[in-house]
Amino acid sequence: MAEAFLTAENLHKSFNEYKAVNGISFTIYKGEIFGLLGPNGAGKTTTIRILSTVLEPNSGDVTIGGQSIRHNADAVRRLIGVCPQELALYADLSALDNLLFFGRMVGLNGKEAKSQAIANLELMGLLDRAKGKVDKFSGGMKRRINLAIALMGRPQLLFLDEPTVGIDPQSRNMIYETIESLRDGGMTILYTTHYMEEADRLCHRVAIMDGGQIIALDTPHGLKSMIGSPEQVTLEDVFLKLTGRGLRD
């Protein structure tokens, strides 16, 4: 049996009276890409904020690499990298300086920060733009820098919150390929998206979230088998069947 790397137990988080996360539990195994799939407002980002120690849950706990987010948040932070849904970049700095800055923030010395920054820029196909100011970059390039930053410090667990929203197909493909190569290198990844084909292509297992709850959790093949022949139905069919066709925005 695979080794658990993250265990979330009965998480709750309310904003005023609104239950954004309403009693979710799941395990992510070492080396897997775990997908959190759900319509807008399902609670995906709130869940990532809890798992990454940005938000405290009202109740429940999360263990990452054996450390609790409640009792050992600093130790958890050393194990994780976060690529947030909202870009977190210094627009006035060059790509390289953004990576160096975040590298120092996660405790790398100057030499180590520089070598990781260059490796990550190369991985994301941006080495030739290292000296370019980030505010001149396209949306897809900014997304790729955001991912390069999340990799500083070589995290064991990477959180990716909708990393492919609103970008060109070339950048999207590069992000897919990067995620697959990180997985092949042994990284554990939590991936949120509302694009079903992405989850089907990338994820070992997928949790479908709606209204703050996990309403199904299985392999893409297992989820498709719930409603028909896996060769004939898509994850989108499963998703619509489970979450309904009502608009969410």
Residue 20 binds which of ligand ADP, Mg ion, none (CB < 5-8 A, kind-dependent): ligand ADP
Residue 35 binds which of Mg ion, ligand ADP, none (CB < 5-8 A, kind-dependent): none
Q: Contact positions toward Mg ion, by CB under 5 A?
A: 44-45, 85
How many residues sit close enough to ligand ADP to count as binding (CB under 6 A)? 10
**CB of 92 vs Mg ion, minimal distance in Å:** 27
Residue nearest to Mg ion (CB): 45
**CB of 187 vs ligand ADP, minimal distance in Å:** 22
**CB of 29 vs Mg ion, minimal distance in Å:** 24
Contact string (CB under 6 A) for ligand ADP, positions 25-64, x = contact: -------------x-xxxxxxx------------------
- HEC string for the chain: CCCEEEEEEEEEEEECCEEEEEEEEEEEECCCEEEEECCCCCCHHHHHHHHCCCCCCCEEEEEECCEECCCCHHHHHCCEEEECCCCCCCCCCEHHHHHHHHHHHCCCCHHHHHHHHHHHHHHCCCHHHCCCEHHHCCHHHHHHHHHHHHCCCCCCEEEEECCCCCCCHHHHHHHHHHHHHHHHCCCEEEEEECCHHHHHHHCCEEEEEECCEEEEEECHHHHHHCCCCCCCCCHHHHHHHHHCCCCCC
Contact residue for ligand ADP among 6, 8, 11, 20 (CB under 6 A): 20
**Residues at the interface with ligand ADP (CB under 6 A):** 15, 20, 38, 40-46
